Amino acid sequence: MPFMKDFLWGGAISASQVEGAYLEDGKGLSTADMITGGSVNKERMFFTEKVEGAYYPTHEAVDFYHRYKEDIALFGEMGFKTLRLSIAWSRIFPNGDDAEPNEKGLQFYDDVFNECLKYGIQPLVTLCHYEIPWEIVKKYNGFASRKTIDLFVNYAKVCFERFGDRVKYWLTFNEINGAPLEGTALSHLGMVDDFVWSLKKPISISELPVLPSRYEGTHNQFVASALAVKAAHELDMGLQVGCMLCNVPWYPLTPNPKDVLATQTKDQMFNYYCGDVMVRGEYPTFVLDFFKKNNIDDSFITEEDKQILKEGTVDLYTFSYYMSNCITTDPTVGIVGGNIVGGAKNPYLEISDWGWQIDPEGIKYVLKNLHDRYPHTPLMIVENGFGGIDKMEEDGSIHDPYRIDYLRQHITAVKEAVADGIPVIGYTAWGPIDLVSIGTGEMYKRYGFIYVDRHDDGTGDYSRHKKDSFDWYKKVIETNGEDLS
């Protein structure tokens, strides 16, 4: 059997994409609540105040807040061993810097975790998945400020202490390697430029200014994460804390050495910058060189921080994998879209309706690279899935062979990597229940094994329906990945 006996099969969701109830029981606003819905052809918009009449998909999402019992029962029926979900920071600290946590928020997650455990599902919890309390953005400009490090660490400690008896696996920041990219300061770091505050109208996400200070913001997240790891270990409750990155393999589009070198640089800066800091506890030289060459003053990396990074290395490395991309130095080559980042079109790969390249072999390539680089760190795939267009037939059935195909091919590749000796401890499919897309804010792009009757025009009764992939995934888990037919 390639997969170990206790392999963590399951699914992954995030609070803002499923919960809704965005102001219920004392929850405060978060960055995610400030972004409108869009589509593959219509960008999501952001404004520092609520726009009357605009549609904000996270405000209701798929109403997991009120329907979690039904949803967890369905996950239990599929045989999930784990459910990766996130805590909405703004449910616990509505103002970010409240003296005491919001008891009703804590109670909600008590109930959710207890419900999971009823079905033998071990929760795996992300502390910050693309949502930062909006008050922290207003008061401190998110992770631009070191004050936010303290606020995050306090929040993490409250969660560890309250839930640590039931939740053993924790992740600090979702896809942290998106943070130093251009244009992601709002979603990843909760940083908003003065120019945007002065705007009197909404701005599309791609027009948000590129902030040179994003490297410092990312560094502050490293420190916050390392301090959280240390705090978890000090509690002596057997907690394990991981990092979470978006892993995209980069291939040179041609054997032109210029393309090969550009690919190496992209791979380092996208896939290894953050992982090296969090797993090895120090900045790799290629990042320090990059700072030097680009005149980025790196005095924000203090001697004390270096010590913290060393002491707060993660226990496991987790990542999302959806696609690979190509790198070219030829400016005339067309670019395809992607998860956080796009790249040159690979002539050997198909693309999804959202332009994401489908590359099952790529996940094996990633696993092998990661194990070479971090040989002592267990690996886990915490997101992988197919966003597609599902249609409910008149008899209520939903046939999604494309999703089964995608998952079958990817799980096969993971299985081969495991058979080659790569220490993979689990796999959670992204969006086991339909949820709000991060990239486009739509419901139309669906990932679930469970269909939710909720649509982008705000219609639908939120009823849940099994797709064909539901029984398929149930069988995969039942046979511990043996039967993928």
Over the window 118 to 157, marking each residue x when it contacts ligand BG6 by CB under 6 A and - when it does not, the resulting string is: ------------x---------------------------
**Which one, 246 or 367, has the nearer CB to ligand BG6?**
246
**Which one, 134 or 430, has the nearer CB to ligand BG6?**
430
Q: Which amino acid is at 58?
A: T
Distance of CA 230 to the CA centre of its chain: 22
- Out of 281, 387, 426, 448, name the contact with ligand BG6 by CB under 6 A: 387
The least distance separating ligand BG6 from the CB of residue 234, rounded to whole angstroms, comes to: 29
383 binds ligand BG6 (CB under 6 A): yes
Q: Which long-range contacts (CB under 8 A, 24 or more apart) does 147-151 make?
A: 147/97, 148/96, 148/190, 148/220, 148/224, 149/220, 149/223, 149/224, 149/227, 151/93, 151/96, 151/97
Over the window 150 to 179, marking each residue x when it contacts ligand BG6 by CB under 6 A and - when it does not, the resulting string is: ------------------------xx----
CA distances from 440 to 320, 336, 445 (A): 18, 15, 8
Contacts (CB under 6 A) with ligand BG6, residues 222-251: 246
Separation between Cα atoms, residue 317 and residue 242, nearest integer Å = 5
3-state secondary structure 388-433: ECCCECCCCCECCHHHHHHHHHHHHHHHHHHHCCCCEEEEEEECCE
Q: Which amino acid is at 424?
A: V
Element of type H or E holding 70 = helix 64-78
Active-site residue, selected from the candidate residues 19, 216, 383, 442: 383
- DSSP code, position 59: G
271 binds ligand BG6 (CB under 6 A): no
**Which one, 219 or 446, has the nearer CB to ligand BG6?**
446
The least distance separating ligand BG6 from the CB of residue 383, rounded to whole angstroms, comes to: 6
Question: What is the phi/psi pair of residue 45, to 5°?
Answer: -120, 155
Contacts (CB under 6 A) with ligand BG6, residues 392-451: 430, 437-439, 445
**Which one, 60 or 259, has the nearer CB to ligand BG6?**
60
Separation between Cα atoms, residue 360 and residue 485, nearest integer Å = 16
Separation between Cα atoms, residue 268 and residue 373, nearest integer Å = 12
**CB-nearest residue to ligand BG6:** 439
The least distance separating ligand BG6 from the CB of residue 441, rounded to whole angstroms, comes to: 9
57 binds ligand BG6 (CB under 6 A): no
CA distances from 25 to 106, 129, 182, 231, 268 (A): 10, 20, 35, 28, 43
Closest CA to 343 of 221, 251, 208: 251
The least distance separating ligand BG6 from the CB of residue 216, rounded to whole angstroms, comes to: 23
Active-site residue, selected from the candidate residues 19, 60, 135, 175: 175
- Out of 7, 8, 11, 14, name the contact with ligand BG6 by CB under 6 A: 14
**Phi-psi map region of 201: left, alpha, beta (phi>0 left; psi -120 to 50 alpha):** beta
383 carries an active-site annotation: yes
The least distance separating ligand BG6 from the CB of residue 354, rounded to whole angstroms, comes to: 7
Contacts (CB under 6 A) with ligand BG6, residues 299-328: 320
The catalytic residues are 175, 383
The binding site for ligand BG6 (CB under 6 A) comprises 14, 17, 130, 174-175, 246, 320, 339, 383, 387, 430, 437-439, 445
